[in-house]
Chain A
Protein backbone atom coordinates (compact mmCIF):
# COMPACT_ATOMS: atom_id res chain seq x y z
CA UNK A 1 0.00 0.00 0.00
CA UNK A 2 1.52 3.31 -1.03
CA UNK A 3 0.28 6.80 -0.23
CA UNK A 4 -0.03 9.25 -3.08
CA UNK A 5 3.20 11.16 -3.47
CA UNK A 6 2.09 14.79 -3.42
CA UNK A 7 0.04 14.76 -0.21
CA UNK A 8 0.92 17.54 2.23
CA UNK A 9 0.41 17.21 5.97
CA UNK A 10 1.05 19.70 8.77
CA UNK A 11 2.12 18.81 12.32
CA UNK A 12 -1.29 19.96 13.56
CA UNK A 13 -2.99 17.31 11.43
CA UNK A 14 -4.20 19.24 8.38
CA UNK A 15 -3.86 17.10 5.28
CA UNK A 16 -4.25 18.41 1.73
CA UNK A 17 -4.53 16.44 -1.48
CA UNK A 18 -3.54 18.89 -4.27
CA UNK A 19 -4.68 16.62 -7.06
CA UNK A 20 -8.29 16.53 -5.83
CA UNK A 21 -8.46 19.65 -3.67
CA UNK A 22 -9.74 17.56 -0.74
CA UNK A 23 -8.60 18.38 2.76
CA UNK A 24 -8.72 16.35 5.93
CA UNK A 25 -8.17 16.59 9.66
CA UNK A 26 -6.18 13.92 11.52
CA UNK A 27 -5.72 13.43 15.25
CA UNK A 28 -2.13 13.30 16.59
CA UNK A 29 -1.78 9.53 16.37
CA UNK A 30 -3.26 9.64 12.89
CA UNK A 31 -0.57 12.14 11.90
CA UNK A 32 2.12 9.90 13.37
CA UNK A 33 0.92 6.84 11.47
CA UNK A 34 0.44 8.83 8.29
CA UNK A 35 4.03 10.07 8.43
CA UNK A 36 5.31 6.55 9.06
CA UNK A 37 3.34 5.33 6.04
CA UNK A 38 4.79 8.19 3.97
CA UNK A 39 8.26 6.99 4.93
CA UNK A 40 7.31 3.58 3.61
CA UNK A 41 7.40 1.80 6.98
CA UNK A 42 5.82 -1.65 7.07
CA UNK A 43 2.77 -2.44 9.21
CA UNK A 44 4.90 -4.52 11.57
CA UNK A 45 7.36 -1.67 12.02
CA UNK A 46 4.57 0.82 12.70
CA UNK A 47 2.96 -1.49 15.26
CA UNK A 48 6.30 -2.01 17.04
CA UNK A 49 6.96 1.72 17.18
CA UNK A 50 3.50 2.50 18.56
CA UNK A 51 3.65 -0.31 21.11
CA UNK A 52 6.87 1.19 22.36
CA UNK A 53 5.36 4.66 22.81
CA UNK A 54 1.71 4.12 23.76
CA UNK A 55 -0.17 2.30 26.51
CA UNK A 56 -2.00 -0.08 24.19
CA UNK A 57 -2.05 -3.74 23.24
CA UNK A 58 -0.97 -5.18 19.89
CA UNK A 59 -4.44 -6.39 18.86
CA UNK A 60 -5.93 -2.93 19.26
CA UNK A 61 -3.20 -1.27 17.20
CA UNK A 62 -3.42 -3.97 14.55
CA UNK A 63 -7.19 -3.50 14.26
CA UNK A 64 -7.01 0.30 14.30
CA UNK A 65 -4.18 0.45 11.76
CA UNK A 66 -6.19 -1.73 9.43
CA UNK A 67 -9.23 0.51 9.89
CA UNK A 68 -7.14 3.65 9.32
CA UNK A 69 -5.79 2.26 6.05
CA UNK A 70 -9.34 1.46 4.91
CA UNK A 71 -10.25 5.08 5.53
CA UNK A 72 -7.19 6.29 3.59
CA UNK A 73 -8.37 4.11 0.70
CA UNK A 74 -11.96 5.42 1.01
CA UNK A 75 -10.66 8.97 0.88
CA UNK A 76 -8.64 8.13 -2.26
CA UNK A 77 -5.28 8.86 -0.67
CA UNK A 78 -3.70 5.61 -1.80
CA UNK A 79 -2.14 4.93 -5.19
CA UNK A 80 -4.40 2.62 -7.15
Chain B
Protein backbone atom coordinates (compact mmCIF):
# COMPACT_ATOMS: atom_id res chain seq x y z
CA UNK B 1 0.00 0.00 0.00
CA UNK B 2 1.27 3.45 -0.92
CA UNK B 3 2.39 5.58 2.03
CA UNK B 4 0.92 9.02 1.74
CA UNK B 5 2.98 12.16 2.33
CA UNK B 6 2.38 14.48 5.28
CA UNK B 7 0.12 17.33 4.28
CA UNK B 8 0.86 20.97 4.94
CA UNK B 9 -1.35 23.86 3.93
CA UNK B 10 -0.09 25.54 0.69
CA UNK B 11 1.61 28.85 1.44
CA UNK B 12 2.79 31.77 -0.64
CA UNK B 13 4.66 34.56 1.07
CA UNK B 14 5.76 37.84 -0.45
CA UNK B 15 9.49 38.52 -0.17
CA UNK B 16 10.25 42.11 0.71
CA UNK B 17 13.41 43.64 -0.58
CA UNK B 18 15.22 46.47 1.13
CA UNK B 19 17.20 46.85 4.31
CA UNK B 20 17.08 44.04 6.83
CA UNK B 21 15.05 44.72 9.93
CA UNK B 22 17.52 44.56 12.78
CA UNK B 23 14.66 44.50 15.25
CA UNK B 24 13.05 41.47 13.60
CA UNK B 25 11.79 38.82 15.98
CA UNK B 26 12.51 35.20 15.29
CA UNK B 27 9.86 32.93 13.92
CA UNK B 28 8.34 30.53 16.40
CA UNK B 29 8.46 27.27 14.53
CA UNK B 30 10.26 25.20 17.17
CA UNK B 31 7.56 23.02 18.66
CA UNK B 32 7.15 22.74 22.43
CA UNK B 33 6.20 19.10 22.76
CA UNK B 34 6.61 18.66 26.49
CA UNK B 35 6.89 20.50 29.79
CA UNK B 36 9.03 18.98 32.56
CA UNK B 37 8.96 15.66 30.70
CA UNK B 38 5.17 15.53 30.30
CA UNK B 39 3.81 15.57 26.75
CA UNK B 40 1.65 18.61 26.04
CA UNK B 41 -0.75 16.51 23.98
CA UNK B 42 -1.17 14.02 26.85
CA UNK B 43 -2.00 16.89 29.23
CA UNK B 44 -4.60 18.28 26.83
CA UNK B 45 -6.12 14.84 26.29
CA UNK B 46 -6.40 14.20 30.00
CA UNK B 47 -7.47 17.62 31.32
CA UNK B 48 -9.10 19.24 28.30
CA UNK B 49 -8.27 22.27 26.20
CA UNK B 50 -7.43 25.03 26.97
CA UNK B 51 -5.33 24.27 30.05
CA UNK B 52 -3.08 26.22 32.40
CA UNK B 53 0.04 24.35 33.47
CA UNK B 54 2.45 25.37 36.24
CA UNK B 55 5.90 23.88 36.70
CA UNK B 56 6.69 23.32 40.37
CA UNK B 57 10.32 22.82 39.37
CA UNK B 58 10.54 26.22 37.71
CA UNK B 59 8.79 27.98 40.62
CA UNK B 60 11.26 26.52 43.10
CA UNK B 61 14.25 27.23 40.85
CA UNK B 62 13.18 30.85 40.43
CA UNK B 63 12.64 31.33 44.15
CA UNK B 64 15.87 29.64 45.19
CA UNK B 65 17.81 31.66 42.64
CA UNK B 66 16.32 34.98 43.78
CA UNK B 67 16.89 34.10 47.44
CA UNK B 68 20.51 33.19 46.77
CA UNK B 69 21.06 36.36 44.75
CA UNK B 70 19.82 38.59 47.58
CA UNK B 71 21.24 36.61 50.50
CA UNK B 72 24.72 36.64 49.03
CA UNK B 73 24.53 40.43 48.91
CA UNK B 74 22.67 41.34 52.10
CA UNK B 75 22.63 39.68 55.54
CA UNK B 76 18.93 39.76 56.40
CA UNK B 77 16.43 38.96 53.63
CA UNK B 78 12.82 37.83 53.80
CA UNK B 79 10.58 37.16 50.80
CA UNK B 80 6.79 37.42 51.06
CA UNK B 81 4.77 35.83 48.28
CA UNK B 82 2.59 38.38 46.52
CA UNK B 83 -0.80 36.69 46.62
CA UNK B 84 -2.39 38.87 43.95
CA UNK B 85 0.19 37.68 41.40
CA UNK B 86 -1.12 34.13 41.68
CA UNK B 87 -3.13 32.96 44.64
CA UNK B 88 -3.74 29.41 43.58
CA UNK B 89 -3.24 27.60 46.87
CA UNK B 90 -0.87 25.03 45.35
CA UNK B 91 1.33 27.81 43.97
CA UNK B 92 1.28 29.74 47.27
CA UNK B 93 2.16 26.58 49.18
CA UNK B 94 5.27 25.98 47.05
CA UNK B 95 6.52 29.44 48.01
CA UNK B 96 5.61 28.91 51.66
CA UNK B 97 7.46 25.58 51.65
CA UNK B 98 10.47 27.47 50.35
CA UNK B 99 10.25 29.88 53.28
CA UNK B 100 8.30 32.76 51.80
CA UNK B 101 5.81 34.67 53.94
CA UNK B 102 2.56 36.04 52.48
CA UNK B 103 1.91 39.55 51.20
CA UNK B 104 -1.79 40.29 50.82
CA UNK B 105 -3.87 43.29 49.77
CA UNK B 106 -7.39 42.35 50.82
CA UNK B 107 -9.36 40.44 53.46
CA UNK B 108 -10.00 37.74 50.87
CA UNK B 109 -6.28 37.24 50.31
CA UNK B 110 -5.57 37.56 54.05
CA UNK B 111 -7.96 34.73 54.87
CA UNK B 112 -6.56 32.67 52.01
CA UNK B 113 -3.08 32.99 53.52
CA UNK B 114 -4.40 32.05 56.98
CA UNK B 115 -6.17 29.00 55.55
CA UNK B 116 -2.96 28.04 53.77
CA UNK B 117 -1.40 27.86 57.23
CA UNK B 118 0.69 31.04 57.20
CA UNK B 119 1.03 32.35 60.79
CA UNK B 120 -0.57 35.77 61.22
CA UNK B 121 2.69 37.48 62.11
CA UNK B 122 4.09 36.37 58.74
CA UNK B 123 1.28 37.90 56.69
CA UNK B 124 2.06 41.42 55.49
CA UNK B 125 -1.20 43.30 55.09
CA UNK B 126 -0.91 45.90 52.31
CA UNK B 127 -3.42 47.82 50.24
CA UNK B 128 -5.77 50.77 50.55
CA UNK B 129 -8.91 48.75 51.39
CA UNK B 130 -8.96 47.55 54.98
CA UNK B 131 -12.12 47.77 57.08
CA UNK B 132 -12.10 48.14 60.87
CA UNK B 133 -12.91 44.47 61.06
CA UNK B 134 -9.98 43.61 58.77
CA UNK B 135 -7.65 45.77 60.84
CA UNK B 136 -8.80 44.18 64.12
CA UNK B 137 -8.21 40.72 62.68
CA UNK B 138 -4.70 41.71 61.58
CA UNK B 139 -4.00 43.29 65.01
CA UNK B 140 -5.22 40.15 66.77
CA UNK B 141 -2.92 38.02 64.60
CA UNK B 142 0.04 40.36 65.12
CA UNK B 143 0.33 40.91 61.35
CA UNK B 144 2.38 43.86 60.12
CA UNK B 145 -0.11 46.38 58.76
CA UNK B 146 1.19 48.65 56.02
CA UNK B 147 -0.67 51.93 56.27
CA UNK B 148 -1.69 53.41 52.93
CA UNK B 149 -3.32 56.73 53.87
CA UNK B 150 -4.01 59.07 56.78
CA UNK B 151 -7.59 57.88 57.14
CA UNK B 152 -6.28 54.39 57.81
CA UNK B 153 -3.73 55.78 60.24
CA UNK B 154 -6.44 57.62 62.21
CA UNK B 155 -8.68 54.51 62.21
CA UNK B 156 -5.80 52.45 63.53
CA UNK B 157 -5.15 54.97 66.28
CA UNK B 158 -8.79 54.75 67.35
CA UNK B 159 -8.78 50.97 67.24
CA UNK B 160 -5.50 50.80 69.17
CA UNK B 161 -6.80 53.06 71.96
CA UNK B 162 -8.61 50.23 73.68
CA UNK B 163 -5.78 47.74 73.36
CA UNK B 164 -2.95 46.89 75.71
CA UNK B 165 -0.59 45.80 72.93
CA UNK B 166 0.55 48.17 70.21
CA UNK B 167 -0.35 47.03 66.68
CA UNK B 168 2.69 46.49 64.42
CA UNK B 169 2.64 48.92 61.52
CA UNK B 170 4.70 50.20 58.63
CA UNK B 171 3.94 53.10 56.34
CA UNK B 172 3.93 52.79 52.59
CA UNK B 173 6.05 55.52 51.02
CA UNK B 174 5.84 56.74 47.44
CA UNK B 175 8.59 58.77 45.85
CA UNK B 176 10.21 60.13 42.74
CA UNK B 177 12.75 57.59 41.57
CA UNK B 178 13.22 59.16 38.17
CA UNK B 179 10.82 56.86 36.38
CA UNK B 180 7.54 57.66 34.67
CA UNK B 181 4.76 57.32 35.63
CA UNK B 182 5.46 57.92 39.29
CA UNK B 183 3.33 55.69 41.46
CA UNK B 184 1.97 58.22 43.91
CA UNK B 185 -1.50 56.87 44.51
CA UNK B 186 -0.35 54.49 47.24
CA UNK B 187 1.10 55.55 50.53
CA UNK B 188 2.67 58.79 51.72
CA UNK B 189 4.94 60.92 49.58
CA UNK B 190 8.61 61.21 50.49
CA UNK B 191 9.44 64.49 48.77
CA UNK B 192 6.56 66.64 50.04
CA UNK B 193 6.89 65.57 53.67
CA UNK B 194 3.77 63.38 53.92
CA UNK B 195 5.88 60.39 54.92
CA UNK B 196 7.52 62.32 57.79
CA UNK B 197 4.13 63.65 58.85
CA UNK B 198 2.83 60.07 59.15
CA UNK B 199 5.98 58.90 60.95
CA UNK B 200 5.83 61.81 63.42
CA UNK B 201 2.16 61.12 64.15
CA UNK B 202 2.74 57.41 64.75
CA UNK B 203 5.73 57.88 67.03
CA UNK B 204 4.48 60.84 69.03
CA UNK B 205 0.97 59.45 69.58
CA UNK B 206 2.67 56.22 70.76
CA UNK B 207 -0.26 53.92 70.12
CA UNK B 208 1.23 52.00 67.20
CA UNK B 209 4.58 50.26 66.89
CA UNK B 210 6.33 51.50 63.75
CA UNK B 211 8.35 48.45 62.80
CA UNK B 212 8.90 48.97 59.07
CA UNK B 213 8.95 51.15 56.01
CA UNK B 214 7.47 49.98 52.73
CA UNK B 215 7.65 51.14 49.14
CA UNK B 216 6.64 49.72 45.79
CA UNK B 217 7.86 51.98 43.04
CA UNK B 218 6.07 50.51 40.03
CA UNK B 219 5.47 47.45 37.97
CA UNK B 220 7.54 45.75 35.25
CA UNK B 221 10.40 48.08 36.12
CA UNK B 222 13.11 47.93 33.46
CA UNK B 223 15.48 50.31 35.27
CA UNK B 224 17.22 48.75 38.27
CA UNK B 225 18.80 52.09 39.20
CA UNK B 226 15.34 53.34 40.21
CA UNK B 227 15.48 50.80 43.05
CA UNK B 228 18.78 52.29 44.19
CA UNK B 229 17.09 55.71 44.41
CA UNK B 230 14.17 54.18 46.32
CA UNK B 231 16.43 52.24 48.70
CA UNK B 232 18.43 55.39 49.38
CA UNK B 233 15.30 57.36 50.33
CA UNK B 234 14.01 54.52 52.50
CA UNK B 235 17.36 54.26 54.27
CA UNK B 236 17.34 58.03 54.77
CA UNK B 237 13.97 57.79 56.52
CA UNK B 238 15.06 54.86 58.70
CA UNK B 239 18.35 56.47 59.72
CA UNK B 240 16.70 59.79 60.54
CA UNK B 241 13.96 58.07 62.55
CA UNK B 242 16.76 56.56 64.62
CA UNK B 243 18.45 59.96 65.00
CA UNK B 244 15.28 61.84 65.85
CA UNK B 245 13.43 59.28 67.99
CA UNK B 246 16.14 56.77 68.95
CA UNK B 247 13.95 54.14 67.36
CA UNK B 248 15.28 51.40 65.10
CA UNK B 249 13.24 50.33 62.10
CA UNK B 250 13.34 46.54 61.92
CA UNK B 251 12.64 46.17 58.20
CA UNK B 252 12.61 47.96 54.89
CA UNK B 253 10.15 46.43 52.45
CA UNK B 254 11.18 47.23 48.87
CA UNK B 255 7.99 45.72 47.41
CA UNK B 256 8.17 44.18 43.97
CA UNK B 257 7.87 45.29 40.38
CA UNK B 258 10.84 43.33 39.00
CA UNK B 259 10.12 42.53 35.34
CA UNK B 260 9.73 39.04 33.95
CA UNK B 261 11.22 38.06 30.59
CA UNK B 262 7.98 38.79 28.76
CA UNK B 263 8.04 41.17 25.78
CA UNK B 264 6.10 44.39 26.22
CA UNK B 265 4.02 45.46 23.23
CA UNK B 266 5.80 48.07 21.16
CA UNK B 267 9.28 47.12 22.31
CA UNK B 268 11.84 46.61 19.57
CA UNK B 269 13.68 43.80 21.27
CA UNK B 270 12.50 40.60 22.91
CA UNK B 271 12.02 40.71 26.68
CA UNK B 272 14.61 37.97 27.02
CA UNK B 273 17.18 40.40 25.57
CA UNK B 274 16.19 43.58 27.39
CA UNK B 275 14.80 42.72 30.82
CA UNK B 276 17.36 43.09 33.63
CA UNK B 277 18.39 39.97 35.49
CA UNK B 278 17.35 39.75 39.12
CA UNK B 279 21.02 40.21 40.06
CA UNK B 280 20.84 43.79 38.73
CA UNK B 281 17.86 44.65 40.93
CA UNK B 282 19.54 42.97 43.90
CA UNK B 283 22.78 44.83 43.36
CA UNK B 284 21.00 48.20 43.15
CA UNK B 285 19.01 47.64 46.35
CA UNK B 286 21.54 45.88 48.55
CA UNK B 287 24.54 48.06 47.67
CA UNK B 288 22.51 51.14 48.54
CA UNK B 289 21.30 49.76 51.86
CA UNK B 290 24.71 48.44 52.88
CA UNK B 291 26.34 51.79 52.13
CA UNK B 292 23.55 53.89 53.66
CA UNK B 293 25.18 54.24 57.07
CA UNK B 294 23.24 51.82 59.30
CA UNK B 295 25.03 50.56 62.40
CA UNK B 296 26.33 47.06 61.72
CA UNK B 297 24.12 45.58 64.45
CA UNK B 298 21.06 47.51 63.35
CA UNK B 299 20.85 46.67 59.68
CA UNK B 300 17.15 46.39 58.93
CA UNK B 301 15.70 43.26 57.38
CA UNK B 302 15.13 43.57 53.64
CA UNK B 303 11.63 42.38 52.73
CA UNK B 304 10.80 41.63 49.11
CA UNK B 305 7.38 41.07 47.62
CA UNK B 306 8.34 40.24 44.08
CA UNK B 307 5.72 38.17 42.27
CA UNK B 308 5.89 38.42 38.49
CA UNK B 309 9.63 37.75 38.19
CA UNK B 310 9.26 34.58 40.27
CA UNK B 311 6.28 32.96 38.60
CA UNK B 312 5.68 34.29 35.08
CA UNK B 313 7.88 31.77 33.27
CA UNK B 314 6.60 28.89 35.41
CA UNK B 315 3.12 29.17 33.87
CA UNK B 316 1.97 27.99 30.44
CA UNK B 317 -1.38 28.19 28.72
CA UNK B 318 -1.97 25.50 26.12
CA UNK B 319 -4.83 25.32 23.69
CA UNK B 320 -6.15 24.17 20.35
CA UNK B 321 -6.64 25.78 16.95
CA UNK B 322 -10.35 26.13 16.21
CA UNK B 323 -10.22 27.55 12.68
CA UNK B 324 -8.31 29.55 10.10
CA UNK B 325 -9.60 32.35 7.98
CA UNK B 326 -8.36 34.97 5.55
CA UNK B 327 -9.06 38.59 6.44
CA UNK B 328 -10.19 41.10 3.84
CA UNK B 329 -6.68 42.50 3.38
CA UNK B 330 -5.14 39.07 2.80
CA UNK B 331 -3.83 38.55 6.31
CA UNK B 332 -4.13 35.11 7.80
CA UNK B 333 -6.17 34.79 10.98
CA UNK B 334 -6.16 31.81 13.29
CA UNK B 335 -8.75 31.32 16.01
CA UNK B 336 -7.63 29.62 19.23
CA UNK B 337 -9.75 28.18 22.02
CA UNK B 338 -8.24 30.60 24.58
CA UNK B 339 -8.35 34.36 24.48
CA UNK B 340 -8.08 37.49 26.57
CA UNK B 341 -10.67 36.15 28.99
CA UNK B 342 -8.01 33.84 30.43
CA UNK B 343 -4.92 35.57 29.09
CA UNK B 344 -5.49 39.12 30.21
CA UNK B 345 -1.81 39.98 29.80
CA UNK B 346 -2.21 39.77 25.99
CA UNK B 347 -3.28 43.39 26.28
CA UNK B 348 0.25 44.48 27.16
CA UNK B 349 2.58 41.65 26.17
CA UNK B 350 3.49 40.04 22.87
CA UNK B 351 3.48 36.60 24.40
CA UNK B 352 5.73 33.97 22.92
CA UNK B 353 3.50 31.30 21.34
CA UNK B 354 4.92 27.95 20.25
CA UNK B 355 3.32 25.27 18.10
CA UNK B 356 3.12 21.84 19.69
CA UNK B 357 3.27 19.77 16.51
CA UNK B 358 6.15 19.70 14.02
CA UNK B 359 4.76 21.87 11.24
CA UNK B 360 7.65 22.69 8.96
CA UNK B 361 9.68 25.80 8.38
CA UNK B 362 7.51 27.80 6.01
CA UNK B 363 5.72 30.47 7.94
CA UNK B 364 3.03 33.03 7.48
CA UNK B 365 2.26 36.28 9.27
CA UNK B 366 -0.80 35.52 11.31
CA UNK B 367 -3.16 37.22 13.71
CA UNK B 368 -4.08 34.96 16.61
CA UNK B 369 -7.61 35.51 17.87
CA UNK B 370 -9.29 34.04 20.92
CA UNK B 371 -12.72 32.37 20.85
CA UNK B 372 -14.72 35.25 22.33
CA UNK B 373 -17.34 36.86 20.15
CA UNK B 374 -15.67 40.18 20.88
CA UNK B 375 -13.45 42.23 18.60
CA UNK B 376 -10.92 42.91 21.34
CA UNK B 377 -10.13 39.23 21.77
CA UNK B 378 -6.67 39.25 20.16
CA UNK B 379 -3.95 37.00 21.55
CA UNK B 380 -1.23 38.22 19.13
CA UNK B 381 -1.81 40.95 16.56
CA UNK B 382 0.99 39.77 14.31
CA UNK B 383 3.09 36.68 14.70
CA UNK B 384 5.01 34.61 12.19
CA UNK B 385 3.76 31.06 12.62
CA UNK B 386 3.99 27.83 10.63
CA UNK B 387 0.71 26.84 8.97
CA UNK B 388 -1.57 25.87 11.83
CA UNK B 389 -4.60 23.74 11.06
CA UNK B 390 -7.73 23.12 13.11
CA UNK B 391 -6.90 20.59 15.80
CA UNK B 392 -3.24 21.65 16.05
CA UNK B 393 -2.11 22.83 19.46
CA UNK B 394 -0.18 25.85 20.70
CA UNK B 395 1.43 26.87 23.99
CA UNK B 396 1.61 30.44 25.30
CA UNK B 397 4.67 31.12 27.45
CA UNK B 398 5.19 33.48 30.42
CA UNK B 399 1.59 33.45 31.60
CA UNK B 400 2.19 32.48 35.23
CA UNK B 401 1.69 35.96 36.68
CA UNK B 402 -1.69 37.69 36.94
CA UNK B 403 -3.52 35.64 34.30
CA UNK B 404 -5.17 33.22 36.69
CA UNK B 405 -6.00 35.89 39.27
CA UNK B 406 -7.27 38.36 36.65
CA UNK B 407 -9.02 35.86 34.38
CA UNK B 408 -12.64 36.57 33.59
CA UNK B 409 -15.59 34.23 33.60
CA UNK B 410 -16.84 35.78 30.41
CA UNK B 411 -18.71 34.00 27.62
CA UNK B 412 -17.10 30.64 28.37
CA UNK B 413 -15.90 28.67 31.36
CA UNK B 414 -12.39 29.03 32.72
CA UNK B 415 -10.05 26.09 32.14
CA UNK B 416 -8.59 23.55 34.51
CA UNK B 417 -5.15 24.17 36.02
CA UNK B 418 -2.47 21.54 36.47
CA UNK B 419 0.84 21.61 38.32
CA UNK B 420 3.65 19.28 37.28
CA UNK B 421 5.58 18.16 40.34
CA UNK B 422 9.33 17.68 40.72
CA UNK B 423 9.03 14.09 39.51
CA UNK B 424 7.17 14.98 36.33
CA UNK B 425 3.77 13.97 37.68
CA UNK B 426 0.84 16.25 36.80
CA UNK B 427 -1.61 17.19 39.57
CA UNK B 428 -4.95 18.85 38.99
CA UNK B 429 -4.86 21.97 41.20
CA UNK B 430 -8.08 23.60 39.97
CA UNK B 431 -10.91 21.91 38.13
CA UNK B 432 -12.48 23.44 35.05
CA UNK B 433 -15.36 25.74 35.89
CA UNK B 434 -18.85 24.33 35.55
CA UNK B 435 -22.18 25.94 34.77
CA UNK B 436 -23.44 24.69 38.13
CA UNK B 437 -20.52 26.32 39.92
CA UNK B 438 -21.07 29.63 38.19
CA UNK B 439 -24.80 29.62 38.91
CA UNK B 440 -24.46 28.46 42.49
CA UNK B 441 -24.54 32.02 43.82
CA UNK B 442 -27.25 33.30 41.46
CA UNK B 443 -30.81 33.79 42.65
CA UNK B 444 -33.88 34.16 40.43
CA UNK B 445 -37.03 35.78 41.90
CA UNK B 446 -39.99 33.37 41.93
CA UNK B 447 -42.09 35.45 39.51
CA UNK B 448 -39.39 35.15 36.82
CA UNK B 449 -39.07 31.40 36.96
CA UNK B 450 -41.73 30.52 34.39
CA UNK B 451 -42.34 31.81 30.90
CA UNK B 452 -43.97 30.74 27.66
CA UNK B 453 -42.35 31.30 24.29
Residues on A lying within 8 angstroms of B by beta carbon are 13, 15, 22-30, 32-34, 50, 53-56, 60, 64-65, 67-68, 70-72, 74-75
- Assess whether B11 is in contact with A26, with CB atoms less than 8 Å apart: yes
Residues of A contacting B7 in the complex (Cβ-Cβ under 8 angstroms): 29, 50, 54-56, 60
Give me 5 A-to-B residue pairs in the complex whose CB atoms sit less than 8 angstroms apart, sorted by A's number.
A13-B362, A23-B14, A30-B362, A67-B324, A68-B11
- Assess whether A70 is in contact with B326, with CB atoms less than 8 Å apart: yes
- Work out how many contacts link A and B, with CB atoms closer than 8 A: 71
Residues on B lying within 8 angstroms of A by beta carbon are 4-15, 17, 324, 326, 330, 360, 362, 387, 389
Q: Which 9 A-B pairs have the closest CB atoms?
A: A27-B362, A56-B7, A30-B10, A74-B330, A55-B4, A54-B7, A68-B10, A27-B11, A23-B15
Which of A23, A24, A27, A32 has the most B CB atoms < 10 Å from its CB? A27
Q: Which residue of A lies closest to B330 (CB)?
A: A74
How far is A30 from B12 in the complex, measured between Cα atoms in Å? 7
- Distance in Å from the Cβ of B244 to the closest Cβ of chain A? 72
- Assess whether A60 is in contact with B389, with CB atoms less than 8 Å apart: yes
Q: Which residue of A lies closest to B390 (CB)?
A: A60
- Assess whether A27 is in contact with B4, with CB atoms less than 8 Å apart: no
- Assess whether A27 is in contact with B326, with CB atoms less than 8 Å apart: no
How far is A60 from B321 in the complex, measured between Cα atoms in Å? 14
Partner of A71, one of B17, B330, B362, B389: B330
- Assess whether B362 is in contact with A25, with CB atoms less than 8 Å apart: yes
Known: A26-B13, A27-B11, A55-B7. 13 other contacts (CB 8 A): A22-B14, A23-B15, A23-B17, A24-B14, A27-B10, A33-B10, A55-B5, A56-B7, A60-B7, A64-B10, A68-B11, A71-B330, A75-B12
- Assess whether B12 is in contact with A26, with CB atoms less than 8 Å apart: yes
How far is A65 from B17 in the complex, measured between Cα atoms in Å? 27
